[in-house]
């Protein structure tokens, strides 16, 4: 009855918006392997800090550790973590000597609920557990307040001849696409339930939208642009939200809840960039697929939905849109004529490709290396 048997089904490529029109790249989304639900950076938001826990706890480490993602409660032996599953772990110590490990595992809603079911069954399927050192523990159900989508707890008590060993309190809480595991060694039972409640509340932060500061990492700066550009405060932000399709009908992706932008000018050239969150960003890209639009050359990447077009008319307007998860970035440039388009394409190549990734991966903004392909598991950002 190991709690580590569930594995995530890897998502394949998904085509959004149908095929591209002539000269326009077909928008394609390819979710990174092992990153189908949340990135490890998102999941780290859900690990409780000291302020989230009852008094007396301090953080010991963040990273790999023996928690419920690797511990079999029926043998009390640690195994390997689930394959192709994003996991974040943090351990804590209490001034009274107890230790706590919190895991958050992105394995999907079905797997999360199954993990709770398996945990709830431990007192029945293995009422006693003996490890390789011969230490035997008795497993009984640990009552918990209702929390998350489903939850279960177990208390593991050494048998009478081995009372010097501490009790172990464990709990699993399903919360959407993730489950949180809490494993406390030592301490009092009365103090464990408040930890589970507080930790579950903290885990809800995972699904929070990116902050303004995080979105700003996706914006160009003057250092990313050729010499001579200066930043100005003037910008028509409406231009970022809508585009006319082939029939002249506006297509929008909704006003983002959080939105940042910058505008740069150099003579009669204007470059506007924006980053935000929107559920319908793919609709905007679909509206950009029109035979009368010329393709704007985009650097190759297979980790995002993207499109780039040059609109007819003068002055010439060009637009590039990148989408990764709920985050979109846009670049809208205006140049006097088409002779200026290669310079815009070079800006995309040199300074802006994949800056959408910087929101979640500031250490890997181009998205050319997915953070958890090394062994199929992630223990915090690499």
DSSP codes, 262-303: EEEEETTEEEEEEEEE-TTHHHHHHHT--TTSEEPP----SS
pLDDT of residue 11: 21
| Residue 138: its H or E element | strand 136-141
Q: How far is it, in rounded angstroms, from Cα 70 to Cα 340?
A: 56
Q: How buried is residue 236: exposed, middle or buried, by Cβ count under 10 Å (0-12/13-18/19+)? A: exposed
pLDDT band at 82 (very low <50, low <70, confident <90, very high): low
pLDDT of residue 32: 39
Domain spans in the chain, listed from the N-terminal domain onward: 14-31+211-359, 40-206
Closest by Cα among 266, 350, 219 to 342: 350
pLDDT band at 161 (very low <50, low <70, confident <90, very high): low
Q: Which residues contact 312 (CB under 8 A, 6 or more apart)?
A: 292, 293, 294
For 89-95, what is the mean pLDDT? 93
Query: Looking at the predicted structure, is the pLDDT value of residue 9 above 50?
Result: no
Tokens found for residue 145: 């307040």
pLDDT of residue 67: 63
Chain centroid to CA 20: how far? 28
Cβ atoms of 274 and 330 within 8 Å: the answer is yes
User: In the beta sheet, which residues pair with residue 377?
Assistant: 85
Tens-digit pLDDT profile for residues 316-333:
999 888 877 777 888 889
- For the CA atoms of the chain, what is the radius of gyration? 25
Strand pairing report for 85-94 and 377-379: parallel
Among 72-86, 265-279, 285-299, the range with the most confident prediction by mean pLDDT is 265-279
Preceding amide of 184 cis, omega within 30: no
Query: Looking at the predicted structure, is the pLDDT value of residue 21 above 50?
Result: no
Q: How far is it, in rounded angstroms, from Cα 325 to Cα 143?
A: 37
pLDDT of residue 65: 52
pLDDT, averaged across the chain: 76
Assigned CATH for 14-31+211-359: 3.40.1000
Q: How far is it, in rounded angstroms, from Cα 218 to Cα 74?
A: 47
Share of the chain above pLDDT 70, in %: 71
pLDDT of residue 361: 66
Tens-digit pLDDT profile for residues 119-153:
999 999 999 888 777 788 899 999 998 899 999 99
For 116-120, what is the mean pLDDT? 92
Query: Looking at the predicted structure, is the pLDDT value of residue 202 above 90?
Result: yes
For CA atoms 246, 248, 252, 255, the dihedral sign is positive
Q: Which segment of 111-120, 191-200, 303-312 scores lowest on mean pLDDT?
A: 303-312
Tens-digit pLDDT profile for residues 94-115:
999 999 999 998 888 888 899 9
More confident residue, 208 or 53: 53
Tell me if 14-31+211-359 shares its fold with 40-206: yes
Chain centroid to CA 58: how far? 25
Query: Selecting from 3.40.1000.70, 3.30.70.580, 3.30.565.10, 3.40.50.720, what CATH number does the domain 40-206 have?
Result: 3.40.1000.70
More confident residue, 68 or 265: 265
pLDDT of residue 35: 53
For 20-39, what is the mean pLDDT? 42
More confident residue, 1 or 182: 182
Helices (H) and strands (E) in the chain, counts: 6, 22
Q: How far is CA 119 from CA 72, 114, 152, 163, 175, in A?
A: 10, 9, 6, 24, 15
pLDDT of residue 198: 94
Q: How buried is residue 238: exposed, middle or buried, by Cβ count under 10 Å (0-12/13-18/19+)? A: exposed
User: In the beta sheet, which residues pair with residue 233?
Assistant: none
Query: Looking at the predicted structure, is the pLDDT value of residue 275 above 90?
Result: no
């Amino acid at each position: 009855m190991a709690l580590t048997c569930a594995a995530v089904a890897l998502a394949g490529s998904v085509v959004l918006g149908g095929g591209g029109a002539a000269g326009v790249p077909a928008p394609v989304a390819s979710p990174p392997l092992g990153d189908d639900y949340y990135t490890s950076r998102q999941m780290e938001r859900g690990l409780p800090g000291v302020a989230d826990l009852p008094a007396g706890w301090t953080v010991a480490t963040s990273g790999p550790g023996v928690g419920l993602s690797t511990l079999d409660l029926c043998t009390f032996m640690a195994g390997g973590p689930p394959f192709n599953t994003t996991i974040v772990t943090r351990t804590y110590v209490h001034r009274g000597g107890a230790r706590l490990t919190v895991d958050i595992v992105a394995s999907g809603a079905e797997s999360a609920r199954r993990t709770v079911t398996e945990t709830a069954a431990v007192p029945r399927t293995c009422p006693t557990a003996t490890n390789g050192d011969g230490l035997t523990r008795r497993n009984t159900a640990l009552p918990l307040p209702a929390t998350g989508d489903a939850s279960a707890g177990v208390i593991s008590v050494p048998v009478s001849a081995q009372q010097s060993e501490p009790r172990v309190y464990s709990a699993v809480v399903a919360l959407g696409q993730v489950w949180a595991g809490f494993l406390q060694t030592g301490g009092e039972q009365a103090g464990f339930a408040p930890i589970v409640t507080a930790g579950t509340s903290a885990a809800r932060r995972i699904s929070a939208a990116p902050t303004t500061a995080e979105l700003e990492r996706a914006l160009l700066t003057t250092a990313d642009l050729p010499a001579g550009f200066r930043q100005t405060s003037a910008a028509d932000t409406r231009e970022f939200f809508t585009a006319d399709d082939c029939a002249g009908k506006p297509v929008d992706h909704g006003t983002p809840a959080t939105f940042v932008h910058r505008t740069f000018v150099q003579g009669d050239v204007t470059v506007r960039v924006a980053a935000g969150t929107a559920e319908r960003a793919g609709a905007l890209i679909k509206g950009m697929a029109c035979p009368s639009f010329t393709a704007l050359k985009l650097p190759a990447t297979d980790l995002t939905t993207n499109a780039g077009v040059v609109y007819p008319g003068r002055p010439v307007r060009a637009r590039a849109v990148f989408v990764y998860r709920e985050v979109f970035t846009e670049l809208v440039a205006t140049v006097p004529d088409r002779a200026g388009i290669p310079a815009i394409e070079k800006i995309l190549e040199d300074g802006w490709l994949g800056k959408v990734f910087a929101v979640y991966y500031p250490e890997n903004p181009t998205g050319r290396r997915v953070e958890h392909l090394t062994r199929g598991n992630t223990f915090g950002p690499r």
